[in-house]
Amino acid sequence: MADATSALLAQAQTADLSSAAVGPDAVAVTLQVNGVARTLEIEPRATLAEVLRGPLSLTGTKIACNRGACSACTVLLDGQPVCSCMMLAIDVGALSITTIEGLARGDTLHPVQQAFIEHDALQCGYCTPGMIMSCVALLDRTPAPDASDIRAAISGHLCRCGTYPHVVAATLAAAKAGRG
Amino acid sequence: MIMAKQKALRTESFPFGIASVGLGRVERQIPADEPPALAPNSELTVIGQPAPRHDGREKVTGAVRFTADISLPGLLHARVLRSPLPHARVRSIDVSAAARHPGVRAILPIASPDDPQRALLRYVGVPVAAVAATSIAAAEAALRKILVDYQALDFVVEMDLARKATAPLVYTSAEMAPGGDSSGYPAPANLPLRGNVRGPSVSRRGDVTKGFDDADVVVETEYRTQVQTHCCLEPHGIVADWRADGLTVYISTQYTTGVRHELAEAFGLPLNRVRVVVHAMGGGFGSKSTLGDYGRFAVELSRRTQAPVRLMLDREEEQMDSGNRPATWQRLRIGAKRDGALCAISLLSYGTAGVALGAGVGFNAEALYNCPNFEGAQHDVFINAGPGCAMRAPGNTPGAFGLEQAIDELAERLAMDPLALRERIDPSPVRREERRIGAARIGWQRRHLPGADPGPVKRGLGMAQSLWMSNVQIDSSCEVRVLRDGSVEVLSSVQDIGTGTGTVLAQTVAEVLGLRASDITVRIGDTEFPPGPPSYGSRATASITPPARTAAWQVLQSLLREAALALNAAPEDLVAREGMIFVADDRSRGMSFREAAARLRTDRISAVASRSDDYPGFARRMGDAALARQTLGGVQFAEVAVDTETGIARVERVVAVQDCGRPMNPAQLESQVHGGIIMGLSYALFEERLLDQHTGRMVNADLEHYKLAGPCETPAIDVMILENYQGNSATDAYGIAEPANIATAAAIANAVYNAIGVRLRSLPMTPAAILGALGKIPRQRS
């Protein structure tokens, strides 16, 4: 049942959205979250950010503006950074979702996470998960970025504490470390 | 006996002066139970080093819990109905349909037609009612079913209009208007209210009339600054959990101890039944200093429903009603001799914090420079807009935009270099050194005449200075524990709002105990621990690191006594270093810190220490708060490129030379200075709350139309921190968050003038404002 809904929605994404009218009551979906299939009942109006933070208890993803203006809620869908507050969870379909909780391998942090600590690229930490996700996505597609590539990659992110210079330094260092 | 011992003093010799200039010594009488003088940073191993944040791992993995992340069994969600009108009388409220909405558990009326004060709504966004329900969606649906009959009243949202005699009155009598000085810079009590104008708050020394008569040159100029909103990425929010045995709140706050007091008073609870917790705090720049009305609503809803209630503001509420930096207009008149010596300064200001107070322009004009004659008259103007509150160097940031441009305008009239004039009139040896270092770094000698660059893109250099108080909270306590397995904890209710307070505490304790910062477990942000200071007024580090060092030192004395028995040595001959405790001149006679701890007679030893007065005394003391004798400086230089065809000003580089007593953690200090500069740049070029004159609504109450500086607008920033030792406390550390924000907009404005040869006296310096100043389009404002 859940798989059928999910398959339908995935199909709807690529074909005709109107044929997949659901709601307003909760429907079953299966989301691929950090490598694990999670089946749950959600209202169609729920955004991906709300579903991650609520029923999935993945509160590392932050909501700060809730309309795609600050990028604090950034997660990866099949490796692409998206604002999870601007996407309905039922529209995710079979795409694989990576959140901030899914980056570390056991106790080993992702090189970008490690570099953020070493370069003090976080202050209050509220924009940090989203900022890290965008930097991870950048290094996946551009393993040797320069500072302007990094600024462009995080250009949609807002940080009131002023971490941008250290985020750029940390991501440069992570890229260098990744290239050995 | 013991009492007498605690009051005893002893003399210690402290490092004194600016490290890059040359250090001397100063003798201080200090309490006998406090540690010996701390050496300069160059001789230390943990303090003064860039220790990584103690909570860095939690923050980069998403594990850290902010207020919105707290979930409790049976949690309810609250939302607030807010006034759509800027000035209205509530004739009736009908909540019956809302109360029947599925999932609704309680409705809290806030406005009331029956109470003359509570019937009046004075700005768009002021709370009218609050709802607690089983989901946010249910609460929001219920809000839409609350029927309110509003009688619209005349309103005014523009300060210049509000000053006119014919303007609609925000408060019809002084009794109705706020009268205290809760956020006041300056807003003393009992000032007269005429129409919407309250004041003046007057400050005077010498005789300005005579001063201006003596002057060879007089400069008179006017400046305007806009409303800036705090824009903490984490909205204001609370989870309130009212239970029979007491109230626990999780709240995004800059002051756990203060919120505890507010809650105890508001709800008639003893302090020991109120617990305030903030594990992590998503940014605070002044607006999260108090409980806030939303906090009271959530607690009341929890009390009524007997269930935990979470209330998080959304971004629109943040923009309309969570505080802001007031708008100001200021007129400065400065008289000087030909050689630059100041004869007189007069300041007239009007500012608006909406329906609240505290819209002054600070004390730069009064105190930054040597000037025998000063007169200041500052006014608050009420308008029908959300209340302003303290924001990162309240008063002095808008004030510096005026004063530091006026000083540059004076320098030009005197045909003096701006640095040379400041050399003549600035008494501070700290800023003198900061000017020297900063001028060399930015390459001040490259500075050309205003507008001298050929071509459409013109570059310029400018600088500005800052002045701030060294604030200390006396009521600041800290506990240090050593457990028998050698683990160490530092505990205080002080919160870490992103500045790195917890890390600095760990460094302070580690330095004393000869451990690494990462060896110390930091337990803060909870009123179950000894009461810590607020994280506002740049006072947390100054207030809490000295008692942390004292408590660690006292615990260490107990540990050394145990170790001394085993080592057959005198405790005073032992030192703790590199994880070892050993005889100072015979390293072979020692044991590890863990071995020493294992010898403890109890499972844990502990000491609690409180902040003592600064050793040489304070300049001023107000209850639990005090001002150190020295002030904080800071000099910033900016290099800009202005496109005279598009009007776009880009800041290419900022050099900031700042001081904060003893620098505790250079990495975190650099981060905070970055924050101050980027916020100042954003204030200079982009940010402005826009209110529609016809509806009173904020038209950019979000984060896409309210423009914040992002990564692509951030210039290259060089941060240099002076080490300024004063022998004032066990750590000699002070704050930096606010000083780092004061000079930026003024430095950029002076650089823009140097670039284009036309002065921008109004913020923000948008492309339209710059093109207007250049005469390429009609001017928007006088």
CATH number for the region B173-230+326-384+392-402 comes to 3.30.365.10
- Identity of the amino acid at B190: N
Average pLDDT, whole number, for chain B?
Answer: 96
* Orientation of helix B744-756 relative to helix B666-685, angle to 10°: 50
* pLDDT exceeds 50 at position B777: yes
pLDDT in tens, B521-543: 999 999 999 999 999 999 999 99
* pLDDT exceeds 70 at position B184: no
Q: How far apart are CA B106 and CA B98, in angstroms?
A: 10
> What's the pLDDT band for A4 if we cut at 50, 70, 90?
very low
Contact A123 B61 (CB under 8 A): no
pTM: predicted TM-score of the whole model, two decimal places: 0.96
Contact B53 A120 (CB under 8 A): yes
- Residue B774 sits at the chain A interface (C-beta within 8 Å): no
Residue B592 is predicted with a pLDDT of: 97
Q: How far apart are CA B363 and CA B406, in angstroms?
A: 15
Cβ-contact B448, B753 below 8 angstroms: no
Strands (E) located in B246-381: 246-251, 274-277, 309-312, 324-325, 327-336, 342-352, 374-381
Least confident of B4-8, B402-406, B508-512: B4-8
Query: Which chain B residue shows the shortest CA-CA distance from A119?
Result: B667
φ and ψ at residue A98, rounded to 5 degrees:
-120, 125
Three-class SS state of B161: helix
Q: Which residues of A touch B63 (CB under 8 A)?
A: 60, 101
Average pLDDT over residues B766-775: 97
Residue A17 is predicted with a pLDDT of: 47
Q: Evaluate whether B67-155+236-312 and B173-230+326-384+392-402 have a shared fold.
A: no
Residue B6 is predicted with a pLDDT of: 52
- Phi-psi label, residue B696: left if phi above 0, alpha if psi -120 to 50, beta otherwise: left
> What's the pLDDT band for A19 if we cut at 50, 70, 90?
low
Average pLDDT over residues B31-39: 97
To probe the interface with B, which of A160, A163, A166, A167 has the most B CB atoms within 10 Å? A160
Residue B175 is predicted with a pLDDT of: 82
Residue B168 is predicted with a pLDDT of: 98
Contact A69 B283 (CB under 8 A): no
pLDDT in tens, B677-728: 999 999 999 999 999 999 999 999 999 999 999 999 999 999 999 999 999 9
* pLDDT exceeds 70 at position B4: no
> What's the pLDDT band for B628 if we cut at 50, 70, 90?
very high
Contacts of B144 (CB under 8 A, 6+ apart): none
Contact B60 A167 (CB under 8 A): no
pLDDT in tens, B416-468: 999 999 999 999 999 999 999 999 999 999 999 999 999 999 999 999 999 99
Average pLDDT over residues A125-144: 98
Contact B674 A53 (CB under 8 A): no
Residue B1 is predicted with a pLDDT of: 41
> What's the pLDDT band for A162 if we cut at 50, 70, 90?
very high
Share of chain B above pLDDT 70, in %: 98
Where along chain B do its domains lie? 67-155+236-312, 173-230+326-384+392-402, 428-467+630-773, 471-625
**Residues B729, B731, B735, B740, CA torsion sign:** positive
φ and ψ at residue B118, rounded to 5 degrees:
-80, -10
Contact A125 B64 (CB under 8 A): yes
> What's the pLDDT band for A22 if we cut at 50, 70, 90?
confident
Q: Which CATH architecture has domain B471-625?
A: 2-Layer Sandwich (3.30)
Average pLDDT over residues B394-403: 97
Query: Which chain A residue shows the shortest CA-CA distance from B54?
Result: A117
To probe the interface with B, which of A33, A62, A126 has the most B CB atoms within 10 Å? A126
Q: Which residue has the higher pLDDT, B780 or B762?
A: B762
Structure tokens that stand for B354 in this block:
């909406």
CATH class assigned to B67-155+236-312: alpha beta
Contact B674 A162 (CB under 8 A): yes
Contact B714 A164 (CB under 8 A): yes
Contacts of B58 (CB under 8 A, 6+ apart): B64, B280
Q: What's the distance, CA B686 to chain centroid?
A: 20
pLDDT in tens, B281-325: 999 999 999 999 999 999 999 999 999 999 999 999 999 999 999
Q: Which residues of B touch A109 (CB under 8 A)?
A: 57, 60-61
Query: Which chain A residue shows the shortest CA-CA distance from B674?
Result: A162
Residue A14 is predicted with a pLDDT of: 52
- Phi-psi label, residue A11: left if phi above 0, alpha if psi -120 to 50, beta otherwise: alpha
Contact A103 B61 (CB under 8 A): yes
Contacts of B100 (CB under 8 A, 6+ apart): none
Å from A27 to nearest chain B CA? 17
CATH number for the region B428-467+630-773 comes to 3.30.365.10
- Residue B529 sits at the chain A interface (C-beta within 8 Å): no
Strands (E) located in B172-298: 193-194, 197-205, 217-225, 228-229, 237-243, 246-251, 274-277
Among all chains, which residue has been given the structure tokens 């948008």?
B766
Q: What's the distance, CA B432 to chain centroid?
A: 25
Structure tokens that stand for B750 in this block:
């002076």
Å from B226 to nearest chain A CA? 18
- Residue B652 sits at the chain A interface (C-beta within 8 Å): no
- Is residue B235 packed enough to be buried (19+ CB in 10 Å), middle (13-18) or exposed (0-12)? buried
Structure tokens that stand for B314 in this block:
């959304």
* pLDDT exceeds 60 at position A8: no
B62, B678, B704: residue with CB nearest A100: B62
Contacts of B659 (CB under 8 A, 6+ apart): B430, B434, B632, B633, B634, B721, B722, B724, B739
- Residue B530 sits at the chain A interface (C-beta within 8 Å): no
Q: Which residues of B touch A164 (CB under 8 A)?
A: 674, 678, 710-711, 714
* pLDDT exceeds 90 at position B3: no
Q: What is the DSSP string of A74-114?
A: EEEETTEEEEGGGSBGGG-TTPEEE-GGGSSBTTBPPHHHH
Hey, what domains does chain A have and what are their CATH numbers?
A: 2-102 (3.10.20.30), 111-178 (1.10.150.120)
**Residues B396, B402, B405, B408, CA torsion sign:** negative
* pLDDT exceeds 50 at position B2: no
- Identity of the amino acid at B404: E
- Residue B102 sits at the chain A interface (C-beta within 8 Å): no
Average pLDDT over residues B36-42: 98
φ and ψ at residue B602, rounded to 5 degrees:
-120, 165
* pLDDT exceeds 50 at position A1: no
Measure the CA angle with vertex B731, ends B725 and B735; round to 5°. 75
The B residues from 42 to 61 touching A (CB cutoff 8 Å) are: 50, 52-53, 55-57, 59-61
Minimal CA–CA distance to A126: which of B567, B281, B389? B281
* pLDDT exceeds 50 at position B766: yes
- Identity of the amino acid at B464: A
Three-class SS state of B377: strand
pLDDT in tens, B198-210: 999 999 999 999 9
Preceding omega of B372 cis (within 30 degrees of 0)? no
* pLDDT exceeds 80 at position B161: yes
Contact B702 A69 (CB under 8 A): yes
Distance between first and last Cα of chain B: 71
Average pLDDT, whole number, for chain A?
Answer: 91
Compute CA distances A74 → A52, A99, B233, B675, whole Å: 12, 8, 14, 22
Preceding omega of B31 cis (within 30 degrees of 0)? no
- Residue B138 sits at the chain A interface (C-beta within 8 Å): no
Residue B116 is predicted with a pLDDT of: 87
Residue B491 is predicted with a pLDDT of: 98
Contact B708 A127 (CB under 8 A): no
pLDDT in tens, B94-127: 999 999 999 999 999 999 999 988 999 999 999 9
Q: How far apart are CA B12 and CA B2, in angstroms?
A: 21
Share of chain A above pLDDT 70, in %: 88
* pLDDT exceeds 60 at position A15: no
Long-range pairs for B163-172 at CB < 8 Å and ≥24 separation? B163/B195, B163/B196, B163/B197, B163/B350, B163/B381, B164/B195, B165/B195, B167/B195, B167/B196, B168/B87, B168/B384, B169/B195, B169/B196, B170/B87, B170/B122, B170/B196, B170/B355, B170/B382, B170/B383, B170/B384, B171/B122, B171/B196, B171/B355, B171/B382
Q: How far apart are CA B414 and CA B340, in angstroms?
A: 7
The A residues from 95 to 134 touching B (CB cutoff 8 Å) are: 99-101, 103-104, 109, 113-114, 116-120, 122-129, 132
- The answer to ipTM > 0.90 is yes
Structure tokens that stand for B439 in this block:
């001028």
Structure tokens that stand for B205 in this block:
């020394």
The kind and range of the H/E element at B751 are helix B744-756
The A residues from 1 to 40 touching B (CB cutoff 8 Å) are: none
Contact A124 B283 (CB under 8 A): yes
